[in-house]
Amino acid sequence: MEKFFHKFSDLFAQLGMPNDPKQVSLFIQTHAPLNASVRLEDAPFWTPSQAALLREELLEDADWAEAVDQLNLALRG
């Protein structure tokens, strides 16, 4: 099965958040750097449904996994 890769900004829309470049940048600036001991999906700023989506996508290595990995890296920097 061929994987489909989503744009980074589309992940924000999937999470129910504003996904225009300015809002994405503001979100990352507000929440970075995420402590290395905190898993992305366990960060305190996610709603339960957002955390569940992130966890599911990572566990299943689903279509969104690459965008979730990008988000993780962005929040660690």
Residue 66 lies in a domain: yes
Residue 67 lies in a domain: yes
Residue 58 lies in a domain: yes
Q: Cα separation of 27 and 25, whole Å? A: 5
Q: Say whether pLDDT at 1 is over 70.
A: no
Tens digits of residue pLDDT in 21-51: 999 999 999 999 999 999 999 999 999 999 9
The CATH number linked to 43 is: 1.10.10.1130
Map tokens 């980074």 to a residue. 8
Q: Say whether pLDDT at 57 is over 70.
A: yes
Per DSSP, helices labelled H in 1-77 are: 8-14, 21-31, 48-59, 65-76
Q: Give the residue numbers spanning the domain of 68.
A: 8-76
On the 0-12 / 13-18 / 19+ scale of CB atoms within 10 A, 53 is buried
Domain count, the chain: 1
Q: Cα separation of 33 and 48, whole Å? A: 21
